[in-house]
Amino acid sequence: MKHPALTTLALLGLACLGSVVQAAPDDIDRGRYLVSIGGCNDCHTPGYAQVGDRIPERDRLTGDTIGFAGPWGVSYPQNLRLGATAADEETWLARVRAGGLPPMPWSALQAMTGQDLRAVYRYLRSLGAAGSAAPAALAPGQAIATPYISFEPLPPVTDGAP
């Protein structure tokens, strides 16, 4: 190309195209940071709430078979790695915007900027598929075949700890 400015423009164009096709390392680091401060592992990584960072990153975010039971029925923290590798970015963003059952902090995720949400998606994808799918949610009144944590309030205990 004769014109240096044109060459620069062409290179910039290629660089932009590259960032659409492939996640930049910066996105992945940002996604890792957001997942970390967002407390996502507490529910989506089995055992994380109990032992924290002793669970290596390669084993995280694979979902859990312990349900959360409440007036909504029973919800299960889904396998975020399978979810992100099975869906393209736009489908995944639409899933987050649609929301779902408690106690998933949907509003926290929906409050993120589009750029941050994409970074979360790219981080999840960078971890790759692992583990198996979590059980599907149950409607109120259905039989519960897994262990679960009850979100029903209990009355106060007046004579000693439970």
Binding site for ligand HEC (CB under 6 A): 35, 38-40, 42-44, 68, 75-78, 80, 83, 95-96, 100-101, 103-105, 108-109, 120, 137
Q: What is the CA radius of gyration of the chain?
A: 20
CB of 157 to ligand HEC, least distance (A): 24
Q: Which is nearer to ligand HEC, 11 or 86 (CB)?
A: 86
CB of 23 to ligand HEC, least distance (A): 16
Q: Which is nearer to ligand HEC, 7 or 132 (CB)?
A: 132
DSSP state string for 37-88: HTTHHHHHSTTHHHHGGGS-GGG-S---S-EEEETTEEE----HHHHHHHS-
Helix or strand (DSSP H, E) at 110? helix 106-110
CB of 11 to ligand HEC, least distance (A): 35
Give the whole-angstrom CA distance, residue 137 versus residue 150: 14
